[in-house]
Structure 1
């Protein structure tokens, strides 16, 4: 039975989950919700009340109780807490049975997972240099912000810099996904999608916020570039309307926000039925990525996995390897990471380091506030 459920807020902006059974078995998960760690920690109070003393092998029963019997359902806070707990339960079961989680999900359909990493830079020279860094790490694809700052209606000349930056990265031999990040509003998003279309990027991500479904539907009718979104959707019911609208080509559920392995497996299956690919969102820590790898290895419609390695932005010197006892599982070769072969999630956490980092953490990461030239708030 479950004896203990712990959470650890660790730098730079991650929330780890540890469950322990009466016989001392341990499972780890990640419930990181950037900028809102305290809210997720608070949600674990109810999860402890319900599941201390519960059979950890009944993963689906726990998921259904946590989701349905709190009356209020969904949303980033509750679903992130459930996600971390779900990952930890799968990790625990895999370790107890001495098999990888992907084996419990029916076995893998591929041996290696295609990956990409994020790059930043305001000028073509800057992004080209960052691209060369990713090439040296073994990547063949990257993602970059489309633009840092656009209002509801800016000069069309503001789009020229995006085209120049994307072209500079492609000139280094990398494929490029372009993240609009929901910060481009409808009048400019249509123009920006048209401007980058001749470059043939891998995808454009969140060309509009996912709540603006009507605008996404319209945009999808005017571009041939694959449209990706989903990091701010939290359950299969959120994704259901996206699939029915037939306006998205790639969905990007975050396994630390969208119900963990259990729910994202269901989202992947729904996507397959609509001929939609899945590319899990994961600018997070090692546990989140290891959980994503289980879906990547078992979902037929998986295409590419985001990972934060080394030079990722806003990590304060932390990366995937910071809290691992063995950093080797995420080595990138020829744009891919080999299947994780270890039991559970396939990684080993340095528990002593996690406890030390959590105990010494003094600052909590918050989303920055951006303002345009006129002083008005703009999307992060």
Structure 2
């Protein structure tokens, strides 16, 4: 373990532990990204995955929003991508501008093309190095978040060959090849578990699992194919970190669109925080989880295009709905999905300022 500067803002970690906080900690998914002119400047000379694989560049981009919004933002998230895991498994992934797999998995026979064993420290060491470098560069200003994609979401990309509107190929696998699908999902889950453990060892102070395509599954398919791997990851990460002498690293699960399972996820997922998309009312989510887990979210990202009055109105409504008996407790303010490229950085600044104002206890 590296020797890191002391943390000066632990608001995120206290909220993740379910505590009442003086205001809601706030960050946004994809906050180190295309909406920032300083990010676009770096991208002029560097390909996307080149940045991911170059720790100095990944560190610089991770810190950009912290630098711009110093005092307003309460977490950094390492600049990387969920698709580094399929790359570690031996698949080629291009970004042009969205993700593309030149040779996706067409049938279960194609699983044989994947690496049978993945040494996370070897294949993804550049992410771990970037985490350690960024943690030092942050100088304790805010905590650093590490992350990975969920097995079902990664499986869908690997089979579809990129994003999809119908998920016809990946979902047909679940119907036609349920056993082979579960085997591949299990292999991905093992790699995700090891990857998150190593991220925490490298300096990540909170870990998030992104199941971006959870909402594409019927509830019974989510329960059968996705949820068991999500539980497996949480249990494995916490056990291995305890054994390694790094206990107590909070974990967030963002299963976008799986709002029908919020109660079950609060009861038995093993995570400390549940991320919410914008399609569930915060007060309703609070009633479903019954105080068993902290929440994160959930303003519609498109509200950031509505102008200052709309942003303030939506933040005020969101804060009121998340509060418990008028108090901010066990809540991390965020968007209900990632920030989109066309957002004016000044409008995001206003979002942060409004969260500070309306979530204050």
How would you bin the TM-score normalised by the shorter chain?
0.3 to 0.5
Task: Output the TM-score relative to the length of structure 1.
Answer: 0.38
Bigger helix share: 2
Task: Output the TM-score relative to the length of structure 2.
Answer: 0.40
Bigger strand share: 1
